[in-house]
A = this chain, B = another copy of it.
Amino acid sequence: MKTEQDIFLAYLKSRGLNLTAERSKILQTVFSFHRHFDLDDLYDEIRRHKARVSRATIYRTIPLLMESGLIREVFRCMDRPHYEHIYGHDHHDHMICLGCGKVLEFKDERIEKLQNEVCAEFGFESVEHRLGIRGYCRECREGQVKRRGAAGT
């Protein structure tokens, strides 16, 4: 079982790039999250650990992490892309509550299978997909709503 480091390192090597301290710190921080994050979450968390990585470097590193298959963009919220690490986690899709901003994850094998069928019909080779359902969660429908802002898909 390879670690995320192994994978990132292999990817970087394959491109003639190095695993620097900054990239390593970003990688480590990404995998320390147990939730979806945006660039500023990363930046803040790194500083909170008294490490110092510039925003420019984070902007540069995110595409590398995506290309190496370690993270993916999941949705856009407050006009910013949000990411999640995917290595070691099952694929899943998202429901985003327009009331409280909560993000629910779900996976339905039947939907996944049907997507493959549709792609086959069209002769389309799927590389990646994203299903985002926006609406209102149980708590927001029933009880009192604490508005935290709407989220985009």
Name the segment of A9-17, A44-52, A112-120 touching the other chain.
A112-120
Q: Which of B97, B106, B115 contacts A111 (CB 8 A)?
A: B115
- Tell yes or no: A153 within 8 A of B by CB: yes
| Cα distance A119–B94 in the bound complex, in angstroms | 11
**Across-interface contacts of A89 in B (CB, < 8 A):** none
A104-B124 contact, Cβ under 8 Å, with A111-B111, A115-B111: yes
A114 touches B110 (CB 8 A): yes
Could you tell me the distance in whole angstroms from the C-beta of A104 to the nearest C-beta in chain B?
A: 6
Q: Out of B119, B125, B127, B135, name the residue touching A126 (CB < 8 Å).
A: B135
* Stretch of A26-34, A35-43, A54-62, A136-144 with 4 or more beta carbons under 8 angstroms from chain B: A136-144
Interface size class of A (residues with CB under 8 A): 20 to 34
Known: A95-B119, A131-B130. A136 touches B124 (CB 8 A): yes
**Which B residues are CB-close (under 8 A) to A114?**
108, 110-111, 114
Docked CA distance A128–B133 (Å):
6
Tell yes or no: A77 within 8 A of B by CB.
no
State whether B130 touches A132 (Cβ < 8 A): yes
Q: Is A134 at the interface (CB under 8 A from chain B)? A: yes
The distance from the CB of A78 to the nearest CB of chain B, in whole angstroms, is 14
- 10 A-B contact pairs sorted by A residue (CB < 8 Å): A95-B124, A98-B127, A108-B114, A108-B118, A111-B114, A111-B118, A118-B133, A123-B138, A127-B136, A129-B133
